[in-house]
A and B are shown apart, each in its own frame.
Chain A
Amino acid sequence: MTNPAHAPALVELKAVNKHYSALHVLKDINLEVAKGEVLVVIGPSGSGKSTLCRTINRLETIDTGSITIEGKELPAEGKELARLRADVGMVFQSFNLFAHKTILENVTLGPIKVKGMAKADADKLALSLLERVGVGHQAAKLPAQLSGGQQQRVAIARALAMKPKVMLFDEPTSALDPEMINEVLDVMVELAKDGMTMVVVTHEMGFARKAADRVIFMADGQIVEEATPENFFTNPQTDRAKDFLSKILTNG
């Protein structure tokens, strides 16, 4: 099911390099994500995994190389890029729900303003999505009135409302209290089962095992190892990966 050789890649990164002044954060990254694939990106902090994730909708620019989505190069800043971003859902570590808008408005804003959907239709869509992620009864509240886990599920609903071709998750559970992590992961597992193409930066091995088709391990801006979740967690090939796994396993 992973990456059939002839299927065109939905997301493709070719020889991508990025520097933060002297720091070389992404070193010659080559990566393909097939339609329907769930890719988990794992690695120590500072390895460039979040940066990698954010380059895919150009929240981070790259210095050299190319990133294509459905064969089309990411456009430069402007209307074109905005249109492309509408097709690439993003879920952030810190949720980033619009603080001055209700839960419902958070989800309907994109469909109404970007897609020109009628408000009644957008409300209906939003309510069904909020229902799906289990926060339908919170629609009239403001983000600050919800728990972190609930906010992150709303953020997923907000991204889904744009009917994205691919969803990016940038450490979606790292800012959550432990008891709230599973409610978010459950939603993500459901999404994966429904065939959503996903790039997920996470340390949640449970999620990787349950839902991922492939794991890439990054260190120092490079993809060091690439494997199925089972192989990666039980039989890592590189010392970097072995070292990293021993740390996250002992730290629980």
Chain B
Amino acid sequence: MNVITDNSDLFLTGFKNTGILFVISAFFALILGTIVAGMRVSPAPAMRAAGTVYVNFVRNTPLTLILAFFALGYPKLGLPSVDFLAAAAIGLSLYTATYVSEAIRSGINTVSVGQSEAARAIGLPFMQTLTLIVLPQAFRSVVPPLFSVFIALLKNTTVAAGFSVFEAGAIRAYLSERGEPLLPGLLWVALIFVVLVLGILTPLQRYLEKKWRVAR
């Protein structure tokens, strides 16, 4: 117990940054993932190809490499500089978006083709067919896989510790600097992750599943 009370500053700052990383990355991953899923079902072959290449390229690259690129490679490109937290958020968003995209695409496939045919038959163009008819129904069936993706994202944020971001994954290193016992420290970190998942993400998932349950 002493480890966490004596070092509450580490735990507070660490998990605060984890929270920031998670919320920003989840937000952008959801938006980007939805757009990419839309591209992959688009009638335009170029859009489909771009979406497919992006998903396969980024999804098959280890997260560590992606974060390494944004922390170490990106600054050398001469583009506007970003701090390590922002760099990690960009990397996590791009990486997670591929998984979001695949989850949503599987949801799109559960919506019967008759729904989009009916939408097209009343004169809705592709974008409106997608956003008004297909996606709202697709989202309902992908709440569980989408939350798996976000739970994975929450834990993936700890990889950013390796790239100079002080978040929960970095707490161990700081504890060791202060000469604190590591095992209890790590157990506390693990416990807090469990509490975050079971206390926030899982209830949110259950709430959305209930709210969006659709009569078919």
A114 touches B124 (CB 8 A): yes
Residues of A within 8 A of B119 (CB): 98
The verdict on B83 contacting chain A, using a C-beta distance below 8 Å, is: no
Among residues of A, the one whose C-beta sits closest to the C-beta of B137 is: A100
Interface centre among A89, A97, A109, A155 (most CB of B within 10 A): A109
A92 touches B117 (CB 8 A): yes
The verdict on B120 contacting chain A, using a C-beta distance below 8 Å, is: yes
Shortest Cβ gap from A54 to chain B (Å): 9
A97 touches B123 (CB 8 A): no
Given contacts A99-B137, A145-B215, contact A82 B117 (CB under 8 A): no
B120 touches A162 (CB 8 A): no
CA distance A155 to B114 in the complex (A): 12
Stretch from B9-17, B65-73, B128-136 contacting the other chain: B128-136
Among residues of B, the one whose C-beta sits closest to the C-beta of A79 is: B125
Among residues of A, the one whose C-beta sits closest to the C-beta of B139 is: A100
Given contacts A92-B114, A99-B115, A145-B215, contact A113 B124 (CB under 8 A): yes
A98 touches B133 (CB 8 A): yes
The verdict on B195 contacting chain A, using a C-beta distance below 8 Å, is: no
B122 touches A77 (CB 8 A): no
Chain A proximity mask over B163-185: 1 for CB below 8 Å, otherwise 0: 00000000000000000000000
Residues of A within 8 A of B53 (CB): none
A60-107 contacts to B, CB under 8 A, are: 77-79, 82-90, 92, 94, 96-100
Chain A proximity mask over B126-151: 1 for CB below 8 Å, otherwise 0: 00100011001100100000000000
B85-143 contacts to A, CB under 8 A, are: 112, 114-115, 117-125, 128, 132-133, 136-137, 140
A110 touches B115 (CB 8 A): no
A90 touches B121 (CB 8 A): yes
Residues of B within 8 A of A77 (CB): 43
Given contacts A92-B114, A94-B114, contact A82 B137 (CB under 8 A): no
CA distance A97 to B118 in the complex (A): 7
The SS class assigned to the B binding surface is: helix
CA distance A179 to B118 in the complex (A): 25
The verdict on A15 contacting chain B, using a C-beta distance below 8 Å, is: no
Residues of B within 8 A of A82 (CB): 120, 123-125
The verdict on A59 contacting chain B, using a C-beta distance below 8 Å, is: yes
Given contacts A98-B133, A99-B214, A145-B215, contact A85 B118 (CB under 8 A): no
Using C-beta atoms within 8 Å of the partner chain, give the interface range for chain B: 20 to 34
Interface centre among B43, B122, B137 (most CB of A within 10 A): B122
A86 touches B118 (CB 8 A): no
Shortest Cβ gap from B108 to chain A (Å): 14
The verdict on B216 contacting chain A, using a C-beta distance below 8 Å, is: yes
B123 touches A85 (CB 8 A): yes
CA distance A79 to B118 in the complex (A): 16
The verdict on A142 contacting chain B, using a C-beta distance below 8 Å, is: yes
Shortest Cβ gap from B125 to chain A (Å): 4
Among residues of B, the one whose C-beta sits closest to the C-beta of A91 is: B121
A59 touches B120 (CB 8 A): yes
A110 touches B215 (CB 8 A): no
CA distance A229 to B214 in the complex (A): 43
CA distance A57 to B112 in the complex (A): 19
The verdict on A159 contacting chain B, using a C-beta distance below 8 Å, is: yes
B117 touches A110 (CB 8 A): no
CA distance A100 to B115 in the complex (A): 10
The verdict on A158 contacting chain B, using a C-beta distance below 8 Å, is: yes
A100 touches B136 (CB 8 A): yes
Residues of B within 8 A of A94 (CB): 112, 114
Chain B proximity mask over A22-34: 1 for CB below 8 Å, otherwise 0: 0000000000000
Residues of A within 8 A of B215 (CB): 99, 142, 144-145
| Additional 13 contacts, C-beta under 8 A, given A90-B118, A114-B122 | A77-B43, A85-B123, A87-B123, A90-B121, A92-B114, A92-B117, A96-B117, A96-B118, A100-B140, A109-B122, A114-B124, A144-B216, A158-B118
A residues neighboring B (CB under 8 Å): 57, 59, 77-79, 82-90, 92, 94, 96-100, 109-110, 113-114, 142, 144-145, 155, 158-159, 162
